[in-house]
Structure 1
Amino acid sequence: MTLLPDNRWTRAVAPALLLHISIGTVYCWSVFKQLIADELQVSPGAIEWGFSLAIFFLGMSAAFLGPMVEKDLKKSALLATICFVTGFVGTGVSIAIHFVPGIFIFYGGVMGVGLGIGYLTPVKNLMLWFSKNKGLATGIAVAGFGLSKAIASPIMEYLIEGVGLVNMFYILGAVYAILMLAGFAIIKRPEGYVYTAPPKESRRGALLRKPLFWGIWIAFYLNITCGLALISQEKDILKDLLHQLPQYAKLSPNAFSIAIAGIIATVLAVDAIFNAVGRLGFAALSDHMKRRESSYKIIFVMSIAACALQLVTHSIDNALFWVVLAMLFLINAGYGGGFSTLPVLLEQHFGIKSVSTTHGLTLSAWAIAGLSGNQLASFVVTHASDQAHRYAAVIPVITVLYAVALLSIWLVSRVKPQVDAEKLL
């Protein structure tokens, strides 16, 4: 007998949030990127690969270690904790000794592996505990990952100002160790669950030969690529737009930066809220639809409509502030919703026995999109024929990609689910 109630909130939701809120701080990179570069006396571009590698190793470790997560919940939770905390603290040590490659090794590689395992670990467990509301359950956990930046960023800034950059990594490393170890201690499968090996047709080699899998992979990849392409340019789009407004147009560069700092910070905070609401909302919505693909269709149609409104009104060039905000908020919501709806969509087609394997393999799309999304936007902006409207040039590109994603998920929806997931339990 334990002091902890043995229910889905204590054994699934609480540990999922403890793990995901901790590892979600990978997205706080922008808080300390410049400070790391200054401390190591290198350009910000020289260390940018630290974050890119973290996302790459997240996706690749999930792809390769999905079967381990499937088989041993406790082992995967512990391994995620060790890798994430070691990578986070190791980043601080690398800064302290001025070892630039350490940023890539620890923040990128070691922490990235912890991210991949930690991201996967609670998902199937939630789906098992919430058998009738799987989308809601995965939405809660993945919303925690999305909100982590909003929670951790001000804490990091406070610690950096109070104790310095290196000590911030040490202190928060200890905090995350406690949180993730608590998650490891309380996470548990439902009573009566017994692991059985997934069928051969749901193993990685077989999945990679299925057009159905690739249809889902392409839709997921394009949603991330489009989201990152816009999000990576968001600050610059807002600065460009605000500079066109009469109250800011005549300010000096320094005065302008000070005047708009609060506006941009507020927009980014609201972005995080829309991202989290999208993660929770679209996944929960899928619980009430006949097919999980319907949530993705709504995401893509919504994103295309938001982009089309910009193309019709030229809102970026004409400084139509609220139209631009609508586009940014809706695309952020769809970006988050794509992550949370993915596990239940995969479960619908391939069953819950192998959901950690299929989910992990599909997250390889995140690894590749993490590299391609930012680069796509940078390429379009740099090579725009009219540099005065360079940020607006990104919108037609992502509109076409969203249309391809919509076509891909429509084709997926034409395939009848081949597995009755409940019978596999």
Structure 2
Amino acid sequence: MTEALGRASPGDLKWLDAARTVASPGFNRWLVPPCALAIHLCIGMAYGFSVFWLPLARAIGVSDPVVCTGMTLADALTTTTCDWRVGDLVWTYSIFFVVLGAAAALWGGWLERVGPRRAGVVAACCWCGGMAIGAYGVAVHQLWLIWLGTGLIGGIGLGIGYISPVSTLIKWFPDRRGLATGMAIMGFGGGAMVGSPLADLLMRHFADDSQVGVWQTMLSLAAIYFVFMMAGALGYRVPRAGWAPAGWTSPGAETGVGTGFHVHLRDAHRTPQFWLVWLVLLLNVSASIGIIGIASPMLQEIFGGRLIGADVAFTAFDTDQKAAAAAVGAGFVGLISLFNIGGRPLWSSASDRLGRKATFAIMTALGALLYGFVAPTLTGTSLGLFVVVFCALASMYGGGFATVPAYLADLFGTRYVGAIHGRLLSAWSLAGIIGPLIVSRMRDTALAAGTPRDLVYPSIYQALAALLLTAFIANLMIRPVDKRFHCAEETADTVPAPTTAVSTNQALTRSGRITIVLAICWAAVLVPIAWGIIRTLEKVAVLLD
């Protein structure tokens, strides 16, 4: 970072230019993953914003909500005398992910032109600035400001911040593309695991008899995240044109792996491969996101009193039993989140050995089998096996996210992979609507027809299995991109390398400094992750008790 800043005056923004991020000879590529994780851990808090909904639903009443009968959603946007309903607040979450997909698609090409450093800085300003505006909206009790700041502006930061680390890491790890994308996207999945308990601690600190402490917490998180995201953005480097890891040679286009060429952004969406991968991601996400969203009530409704050692149905729970079962449900959600996170580097790293197509074939086929045949037979039977099945499904949900960028790089090359990945994320936005819609509609219809709560889910599982079976077939249809779309990759360095000789002592000193910097950078991201895992395991202990 000091190297980049040293080339420009403080008021000169040229230090953000793509040319200033080209790594010097001898740069250690393992310095880049912590930068990617720093950004993804921060924006991943989008998954954890539900921690604010209940406190915000009593922001005026503090101890009890101030309920206004007949208040519409339009009224809720500007009211200063009535507490918001959770349903009004959840719209922020929906705005997040719709805007994420749109922003990634709209600004993916811009990212490839300006480089990851400028994109990372813009993402930090949008995400943290949006949270600050949202905090002000909470302070003055204006829901429209929360939607505008946290939802819209923050969502733009989400989209740009999501694709910039992925694009950068793929270029640094052509030999381990799956591992690279798994490391980056693991951070996005783990953001809520760290941010939610931190937000809870901060709200407890700021809350008193006159306030719930949400706006102070959001503002504090915005400041913390801004420091981390800026550090990650300024630490970005991109490899010189023609760079390759020591001892690694390209496997060649004849293997079906997209190395040695790239497909231009303007042509990618004209290929059937893009739309087949888009469909696979859409179906894989749709099949899991709806179930994950109701994981806690699903477990409680299926197993009822067995969760708490009582012979009673879910509908007959008293107040204490509801609280005890909810604690077990929270443990189940925590365990699913751990497997969602862990599945990202696990499946994406496996794809480096198995191949991307084979990995998606395994994930979609196994998912269809578990949803279609195994899960329906577990209703009210083995709690342990039920948990194992859904942890496996959660790992493949996360694994699909982590593996798909490497899949795109194989098919289209790395030159425009960030922009292509951004356009592909529109599938995620649509899946965020389709998946929950399928699950909620089928669940509500079954309950309205008088179906017992523990028997509502088998038909839902089979519908989701059908989605994954379709994804399996679509994945089998993917072939290498036709050569008429290929453009030759640059092979010569575009930035001249310094020719200054370096002595052995200087090399050893530099190596020692790099080792220290590596340790500091990795500790900065691994310590928060470890803390988040410990806090999550505390919840999981209730389930395993």
1:271 aligned residue: 336
Contact 1:233 1:391 in 2 (8 A): no
Structure 2: runs of 5 or more not aligned: 5-25, 60-81, 207-212, 244-260, 492-545
2:299 to 234, 238, 251: 238
1:280 to 310, 323, 345: 345
1:67 aligned residue: 109
- How much has 1:424 moved relative to structure 2? 5.4
The structure that is helix-richer by fraction is 1
Q: Which amino acid aligns with 1:184?
A: A
1:223 to 263, 269, 284: 284
Q: Deviations over 1:68-95 (max 9, x none)?
A: 1112222111110000001112111111
Alignment of 1:17-28 (within 5 A): 17-28=37-48
- Give the alignment's TM-score, normalised by structure 2: 0.72
2:408 to 341, 346, 349: 346
Contact 2:262 2:415 in 1 (8 A): no
1:377 aligned residue: 439
Alignment of 1:44-83 (within 5 A): 44-72=86-114, 73-83=116-126
2:472 aligned residue: 406
Distance 1:421 1:335, change over 3 A: farther
1:128 to 152, 156, 171: 171
Distance 1:280 1:408, change over 3 A: same
Distance 1:130 1:311, change over 3 A: closer
Distance 1:242 1:411 in 2: 40
Distance 1:111 1:66 in 2: 17
- How much has 1:273 moved relative to structure 2? 1.6
Distance 2:368 2:418 in 1: 31
* Matched length: 416
Alignment of 1:303-322 (within 5 A): 303-310=367-374, 313=377, 315-316=378-379, 318-322=380-384
Contact 1:69 1:121 in 2 (8 A): yes
Contact 1:37 1:43 in 2 (8 A): yes
- How much has 1:266 moved relative to structure 2? 2.3
Contact 2:340 2:397 in 1 (8 A): yes
Give 1 or 2 for the bigger CA radius of gyration.
2
- How much has 1:416 moved relative to structure 2? 6.1
Structure 1: runs of 5 or more not aligned: none
Distance 1:193 1:119, change over 3 A: farther
2:418 to 350, 356, 360: 356
Q: Does 1:88 align with 2:131?
A: yes
Distance 2:399 2:272 in 1: 23
- How much has 1:421 moved relative to structure 2? 10
- Give the alignment's TM-score, normalised by structure 1: 0.91
Q: Deviations over 1:106-161 (max 9, x none)?
A: 22211100000000111121111112111101101111111111112111111111
1:6 aligned residue: 27
Distance 2:265 2:409 in 1: 14
Distance 1:345 1:252 in 2: 48
- How much has 1:3 moved relative to structure 2? 8.4
1:292 aligned residue: 356
Aligned-residue identity in percent: 27
Q: Which amino acid aligns with 1:25?
A: M
Q: Which amino acid aligns with 2:356?
A: R
Contact 2:375 2:386 in 1 (8 A): no
Distance 1:323 1:49 in 2: 35
Distance 2:357 2:104 in 1: 23
Deviating 4+ runs (over 6 angstroms): 419-422
Q: How big is the alpha-carbon RMSD for the aligned residues of Structure 1 and Structure 2?
A: 2.5
Q: Which amino acid aligns with 2:382?
A: L
1:15 aligned residue: 35
Contact 1:241 1:321 in 2 (8 A): no
Distance 1:408 1:424, change over 3 A: farther
1:190 aligned residue: 239
Q: Deviations over 1:315-355 (max 9, x none)?
A: 23x24312321221111101100111111101111111110
Distance 2:134 2:458 in 1: 37
